């Protein structure tokens, strides 16, 4: 996708116009019965419907047809980065998810507390799913580990899950998982695939040795395994590739972290959609691109709660007038992927998307929903091209070639 | 795009069938008001509507979603060449635009007459936008410049704009613009990025030195700057990649030049749509592919003249029976990009496209317009795949693989 960013670098122009990207996580859905309505179609959404009526609608393909993305690739695509080119390691995503501010020299690791027997063989890969409070106490203990040449950070995530970060010069991220994915065997030795990663592997070993000593008397969590050892991907700055001054208004750490990955300004968004809208209004003059993230359409979908997702969509719809009142030149409403309540999981289905601007080729859509989006004038498009459309509708791209 | 042309080279077959590609420049448009009709939808087009009813309709994406092409990339895409792979320099396009027959050893440069003060600093980058007659006289003067080892051609374009061509062995096109894009400073020195381009840069310097002497007593145009220094891209022959014997019937030099770029036979087309149709009829038996270019849907769009564009579309429609009477096996009507009168400029919006052939999967379209094309059986496709569809509908491609 380098070529697309070469294009936007070359063609970008700043005309002061403002773009709002409203991401309703997991927005797309499925009808519970064939021929029925999806969550979005079931919801009463007068404001989104009005936008669909004056804008262009279509379906966004997050990665490729049939490929279901996680939150990382889903958002990278929306930000215009090829999700197949920029791979975010699991450790990095876990660190972003707890609001840990990763630097470019950091190696991030997802840890799992586990139980080993006296022979050093794993008997429980999740240490009996210990309570979060126990995990927190153990992490505090491990955070005292000292290894020459690196700073060590140990942070709890939830239950048996933790994040370990090594900060130091010359580290690499190409180290295997030590989790053997089975019980009855010892954890695997960390091995580096190149010289910087060998340095990391050595630090991992020292960390695991000290952790083993510190946890020896604990039960059931008397060791930990390491997974998804990774560094931040080298990824061009959003501002540099698009010529936009971007702000992220997201409640959940993971999405703040993903925005930080492309170096958006991450604003204090409070904890509710209302506080997010307050922040948007307060900073409207300070930025020309706003990424607003709404989590609950995904979490209700994951819970299989069709009606709950409908309610959350209606809640989002009710906030839309506060955005339109600001008069954005371009307003996009989409999701990073679909999360049909029927499937209780993310899915690959195209995500209903609408774009409003003065340059919209209006289509027959009169409401915002999967069925109408299917025949909208945006057609079916790859999520990673959405930023091109956003810039075009904002009149922020010069003509390509004479 | 090499892969597509590798395919067409391998699969092409000649069955004597004939293809007509009718390009209405800037065909696509926008409604002036949300929910209204576009220029094409407003026009009375019984002949195009009849074609849409029996053919396949859809929307062509010139480059990528959101990317607005100039005429060069727009047409390269229609001819089946990846417009991001084949980059046509501004100097080359300017030379094509005045019907200058560029050869593969030529370096083409767009020149701008400018005004410099006694210190050699630019005071006016366009020399007061001198009249075309003055530009012509000055170009005639400069055309006498002699530089050992190369032929020099200087040709007027319009007002302060000119084209300079150096023809000789071992020249390169990677030389910077000498136009500093601002006033109060001297023109930049031309510098070559590689050895052949250093040779070109030396010739540029000698040319500018002699030009400065010749123009010293002129006012306000007492020097010139150079821009878009470039050579023809290395681009495979249309006939070779598709096995078609192609002719171009275009009134405007730019489009004749673009056809010459891929080595179509460029026919004398006169100056009107009628003379173009005369030429088509007269040469019908001599070629199996005809590219017919109609300019005025773009120029009226650029002028913001919605009604004028509607009229031009109706004029084009009236010419269609002369094409269908010849019985082409495949007739395609499309544009190189959209030029909505509302925007007074080229745009990225998908271009309404229709294909008729005996192999068409007819769709619900009953008229030719953006709204019906939105749901036509061609769907949304990249312009650079149009030639594949043309060949397929003409039964000129073997099956791929057994």
What are the pLDDT digits (tens) for B261-295? Answer: 999 999 999 999 999 999 999 999 999 999 999 99
Which residues in A lie closer than 8 A to residue B81 (C-beta atoms)?
none
Nearest to B211 by CA among B247, B243, B252, B178: B178
A190 CB-contact burial (10 Å; exposed 0-12 / middle 13-18 / buried 19+)? buried
Enter the tokens of residue B122: 């630019």
Measured between CA atoms, the residue of chain A closest to residue B258 is A402
pLDDT, tens digit (0-9, with 9 covering 90-100), for A63-87: 999 999 999 999 999 999 999 999 8
Three-state SS across chain A?
CHHHHHHHHHHECCCCCCEEEEEECCEECCCCCCCCCCHHHHCCCHHHHHHHHHCEEEEEECCCCCCCCCHHHHHHHHCCCCCCCCCCCHHHHHHHHCCCCCCCCEEEEEEEEEEECCCCCEEECCHHHCCHHHHHHHHHHHCCCCECCEEEEEEEEECCEEEEEEECCCCCCCECCCCCCCCCCCCCCCCECCHHHHHHHHHHHHHHHHHHHHHCCCCCCCEEEEEEEECCCCCCCHHHHHCCCEEEEECCHHHHHHHHHCCCEECCCCCCHHHHHHHHHHCCCCCCEEEEEECHHHHHHHCCCHHHHHHHHHHHHHHHHHHHCCCCCEEEEECCCECCCCCCCCECCCEEEEEECCCCCCCCCCCCCHHHHCCCCCEEEEHHHHHHHHHHHCCCECCECC
Residue indicated by tokens 């999806």: A38
- Determine contact: B253 vs chain A, CB below 8 A: no
- Determine contact: A201 vs chain B, CB below 8 A: no
Distance from CA of B288 to the nearest CA of A (A): 29
Confidence at residue A97, expressed as pLDDT on a 0 to 100 scale: 87
Whether residue A2 is predicted with pLDDT greater than 60 in this model: the reply is: no
Give the CA distances from residue A287 to residues A239, A276, A283, A304, in Å, rounded to whole numbers and listed in that order. Answer: 11, 15, 7, 37
Structural contact between residues B313 and B294, judged by C-beta atoms closer than 8 angstroms? no
pLDDT, tens digit (0-9, with 9 covering 90-100), for B112-125: 999 999 999 999 99
How many Å apart are CA B81 and CA A397, to the nearest integer? 22
CATH number of B2-87+235-393: 3.40.720.10
For residue A27, what are the β-bridge partners?
A: A338
CB–CB contacts below 8 A, A to B: 99
pLDDT, tens digit (0-9, with 9 covering 90-100), for B177-226: 999 999 999 999 999 999 999 999 999 999 999 999 999 999 999 999 99
pLDDT, tens digit (0-9, with 9 covering 90-100), for A300-309: 999 999 999 9
Confidence at residue A1, expressed as pLDDT on a 0 to 100 scale: 40
Measured between CA atoms, the residue of chain B closest to residue A356 is B34
- Determine contact: B121 vs chain A, CB below 8 A: no
Structural contact between residues A260 and A266, judged by C-beta atoms closer than 8 angstroms? yes
The sign of the CA dihedral A272, A275, A280, A283 is negative
Confidence band of A287 (pLDDT split at 50, 70, 90): very high
Q: What is the mean pLDDT of residues A290-299?
A: 97
Whether residue B133 is predicted with pLDDT greater than 60 in this model: the reply is: yes
Distance from CA of A331 to the nearest CA of B (A): 15
Structural contact between residues B375 and A375, judged by C-beta atoms closer than 8 angstroms? yes
Which residues in B lie closer than 8 A to residue A330 (C-beta atoms)?
none
Mutate to test the interface with B, among A55, A350, A361, A371 (most CBs of B within 10 A): A361
Structural contact between residues B355 and B378, judged by C-beta atoms closer than 8 angstroms? yes
How many Å apart are CA A241 and CA A80, to the nearest integer? 10
Give the CA distances from residue B94 to residues A402, B201, B254, B282, B347, in Å, rounded to whole numbers and listed in that order. Answer: 9, 19, 8, 30, 21
Domain regions of chain B by residue span: 2-87+235-393, 92-230
- Which residues 32-61 of B have a C-beta within 8 angstroms of A? 34-36, 38, 59
Give the CA distances from residue B57 to residues A48, A307, B351, in Å, rounded to whole numbers and listed in that order. Answer: 30, 40, 10
Task: Determine the angle formed by the axes of helices A195-215 and A132-142, rounding to 10 degrees.
Answer: 110
Q: B56-61 and B351-356 as β-strands: parallel, antiparallel, unpaired? A: antiparallel
pTM (2 d.p.):
0.91
pLDDT, tens digit (0-9, with 9 covering 90-100), for B309-338: 999 999 999 999 999 999 999 999 999 999
Per-residue buried b or exposed e for A259-284, using 16+ beta carbons within 10 Å of the residue's own CB: bbbbebbbbebeeebeebbebbeeeb
Whether residue A198 is predicted with pLDDT greater than 70 in this model: the reply is: yes
How many Å apart are CA B370 and CA A379, to the nearest integer? 12
How many Å apart are CA A367 and CA A46, to the nearest integer? 8
pLDDT, tens digit (0-9, with 9 covering 90-100), for A335-363: 999 999 999 999 999 999 999 999 999 99
Per-residue buried b or exposed e for A195-212, using 16+ beta carbons within 10 Å of the residue's own CB: ebbbbbbebbebbbebbe
A27 CB-contact burial (10 Å; exposed 0-12 / middle 13-18 / buried 19+)? buried
Enter the tokens of residue A157: 């995530």
Confidence band of B386 (pLDDT split at 50, 70, 90): very high
Record: contact A388-B65, CB cut-off 8 A: yes
How many Å apart are CA A319 and CA A370, to the nearest integer? 21
Whether residue B3 is predicted with pLDDT greater than 90 in this model: the reply is: no
Which residues in A lie closer than 8 A to residue B235 (C-beta atoms)?
none
Confidence at residue A53, expressed as pLDDT on a 0 to 100 scale: 96
- Main-chain phi, psi angles of B11, to 5 degrees: -100, -10
Structural contact between residues B138 and B166, judged by C-beta atoms closer than 8 angstroms? no
- Main-chain phi, psi angles of B229, to 5 degrees: -60, 125
Q: What is the mean pLDDT of residues A19-29?
A: 98
Residues 6+ away with beta carbon under 8 Å from A140: A154
Nearest to A90 by CA among A190, A220, A232: A232
- Which residues 67-106 of B have a C-beta within 8 angstroms of A? 67-73, 83-84, 87-88, 90, 93-94
Measured between CA atoms, the residue of chain A closest to residue B338 is A361
Q: How many CA atoms lie within 13 A of A52 on its CB side?
A: 27
Whether residue B2 is predicted with pLDDT greater than 90 in this model: the reply is: no
How many Å apart are CA B172 and CA B197, to the nearest integer? 4
Radius of gyration of chain A (CA): 23
Structural contact between residues B400 and B13, judged by C-beta atoms closer than 8 angstroms? no
ipTM (interface predicted TM): 0.90
Structural contact between residues A254 and A298, judged by C-beta atoms closer than 8 angstroms? no
Q: Chain-wide mean pLDDT for chain B?
A: 96
Confidence at residue A346, expressed as pLDDT on a 0 to 100 scale: 97
Q: Chain-wide mean pLDDT for chain A?
A: 96
Record: contact A361-B38, CB cut-off 8 A: yes
Record: contact A361-B35, CB cut-off 8 A: no
How many Å apart are CA A315 and CA A108, to the nearest integer? 36
Nearest to A79 by CA among A124, A21, A38: A21
Structural contact between residues A228 and A94, judged by C-beta atoms closer than 8 angstroms? yes
Percentage of chain B beyond pLDDT 90 is 94
The total of other beta-carbon atoms located within 10 Å of residue A149's CB is: 12
Measured between CA atoms, the residue of chain A closest to residue B348 is A392
């Amino acid at each position: 996708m380098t070529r697309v960013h070469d294009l936007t670098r070359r063609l970008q122009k700043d005309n002061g116009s403002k773009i709002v990207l409203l991401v309703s996580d997991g927005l797309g859905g499925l009808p519970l019965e064939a021929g029925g309505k999806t969550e979005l179609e079931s919801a009463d959404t007068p404001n989104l419907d009005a936008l669909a009526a004056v804008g262009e609608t279509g379906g966004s393909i997050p990665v490729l047809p049939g490929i279901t993305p996680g939150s990382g690739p889903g958002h990278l695509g929306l930000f215009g980065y090829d999700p197949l080119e920029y791979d975010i390691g699991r450790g990095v995503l876990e660190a972003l998810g707890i609001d840990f501010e990763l630097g470019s020299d950091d190696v991030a690791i997802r840890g799992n507390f586990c139980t080993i027997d006296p022979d050093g063989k794993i008997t429980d890969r999740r240490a009996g799913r210990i309570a979060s409070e126990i995990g927190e106490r153990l992490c505090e203990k491990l955070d005292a580990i000292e290894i020459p040449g690196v700073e060590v950070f140990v942070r709890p995530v939830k239950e048996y899950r933790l994040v370990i970060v090594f900060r130091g010069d010359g580290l690499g991220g190409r180290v295997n998982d030590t989790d053997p994915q089975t019980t009855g065997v010892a954890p695997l030795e960390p091995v580096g695939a190149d010289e910087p990663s060998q340095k990391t592997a050595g630090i991992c070993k020292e960390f695991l040795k000290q952790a083993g000593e510190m946890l020896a008397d604990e039960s059931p969590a008397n060791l930990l395994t390491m997974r998804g050892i990774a560094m931040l991907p080298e990824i061009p700055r959003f501002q540099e590739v698009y010529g936009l001054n971007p702000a992220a208004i997201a409640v959940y750490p993971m999405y703040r972290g993903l925005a930080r990955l492309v170096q958006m300004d991450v604003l204090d968004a409070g904890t509710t959609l209302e506080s997010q809208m307050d922040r948007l209004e307060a900073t409207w003059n300070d930025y020309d691109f706003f990424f607003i993230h709404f989590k609950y359409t995904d979490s209700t979908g994951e819970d299989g709660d069709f009606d709950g997702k409908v309610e959350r969509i209606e809640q989002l719809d009710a906030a839309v007038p506060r955005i339109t009142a600001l008069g954005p030149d371009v307003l996009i409403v989409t999701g990073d992927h679909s999360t049909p309540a029927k499937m209780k999981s993310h899915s690959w289905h195209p995500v209903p998307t609408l774009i409003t601007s003065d340059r919209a080729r209006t289509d027959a859509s009169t409401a915002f929903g999967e069925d109408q989006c299917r025949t909208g004038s945006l057609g079916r498009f790859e999520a990673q091209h959405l930023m091109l459309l956003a810039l075009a509708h904002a009149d922020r791209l010069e003509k390509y070639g004479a």
